[in-house]
Amino acid sequence: METLESLSDALDTTGDIQSIVRTMKALSSVSIRQYENAEAAMADYARTVELGLMAVLRRHRQAGRPLPRGGGKTGRDGLIVIGSDRGLCGGYNDKITRFALSRMGDRPVVLGVIGTRAAARLEAAGRPADVLRSQPGSVEGLSRLVQSMIVAVDRWTQEQGVGEVWLAHNRRQGRITAKPQAHRLLPLPDSYLEKLARADWPGRSLPLFRMDAARLMSWLVQQRLFVVIYRALAEALASEHASRLAAMQAAERNIEERREDLGQLYRLRRQETITRELLDVVSGFEAVSSAE
């Protein structure tokens, strides 16, 4: 049976937990907007890179040269999986882990993972990460992480014979739901290149460039790789914080219910204690009166 002291301690502990949950809710709300703004800010640069690719490909067509092609699928696949380093975000890491495992199947894959919790789940499933990176603590760390992954992808293609590179991450669907999705990073899809080559140029004339077309094309592909990974990271981090916000909201409701139950039980025990003490006083008074 709980005593008044134990119930009072439980109420204090529950209040402390509730304060922590509210702080985490506030941090997640702020972080969601931060990463949404980062993803939106990259949109203009993504458009610039796309226009550069469009100009180079249209010059190819005007010169009668064939468009660059990714070629047939050769070698192993490479897969980058974006998870999280921190917990309390519901089934966020479980979703992306199941999605990544379903895409890999039994095939040999060079695996890069961003987020130690997703990496631990993949390793437990028999898929240890070949490259492991931690999530940045803020938007400022995104660019360094993306550059690090681009270097890793270049090594995969140059030294390990990777033919295709894919990226898997969670993206918010609605306000809180995280839905896994995948993008092919390399090589660029032939349909995408054909679409850019046939698209109407937004100005009256194509821009001139002196750089070798092949080198310029290679640089633009690398910049597109940067854009896609950066935006995917921002989307994944916004999704992670949205999942954590939903988990904290559910936890807060449970804590409030628990505090209400504890409060009712505390008041009941307090009333029982007061009643018992009054009965002891009355019984003592009657015993003294009878003796006199």
**Digit-coded pLDDT (tens) for 126-159:** 999 999 999 988 899 999 999 999 999 999 999 9
As given in the structure block, the two tokens for residue 66 are 């064939």
Dist CA 24 CA 251 (whole Å) = 11
- Which tens digits make up the pLDDT trace of 86-111? 888 888 999 999 999 999 999 999 99
Query: What homologous superfamily is domain 28-246 in, according to CATH?
Result: ATP synthase, F1 complex, gamma subunit (3.40.1380.10)
Of 120-124, 203-207, 238-242, 287-291, give the lowest mean pLDDT range. 287-291
Beta strands in the chain (DSSP E): 76-82, 109-114, 131-133, 162-173, 177-186
Residue type, 270: R
pLDDT of 175: 64
Q: Output the pLDDT for position 70.
A: 58
292 band by pLDDT with thresholds 50, 70 and 90: low
pLDDT digits (tens, 9 = 90+) for 236-265: 999 999 888 888 888 888 988 888 888 888
Which whole-number Å values give the CA distances from 256 to 3, 9, 21, 100, in the listed order?
21, 16, 11, 37
CB 68 within 8 A of CB 282: no
pLDDT in tens, 57-68: 888 777 767 666
Determine if the peptide bond prior to 68 is cis (ω within 30°): no
End-to-end CA distance of the chain: 39
User: If DSSP codes are grouped into helix, strand and coil, which group holds residue 82?
Assistant: strand
The residue count for the chain: 292
DSSP 3-state of 121: helix
What is the DSSP annotation of 264-280? HHHHHHHHHHHHHHHHH
- Does 187 sit behind a cis peptide bond, omega within 30 degrees of 0 on the bond before it? yes
Query: Given pLDDT bands bounded at 50, 70 and 90, which one contains residue 117?
Result: very high
Summarize the confidence of residues 20-40 as an average pLDDT: 86
For residue 24, what pLDDT is reported? 82
- Tell whether the model's pLDDT for residue 71 goes beyond 80: no
> Measured between alpha carbons, how far is 28 from 270 in angstroms, rounded to an integer?
39
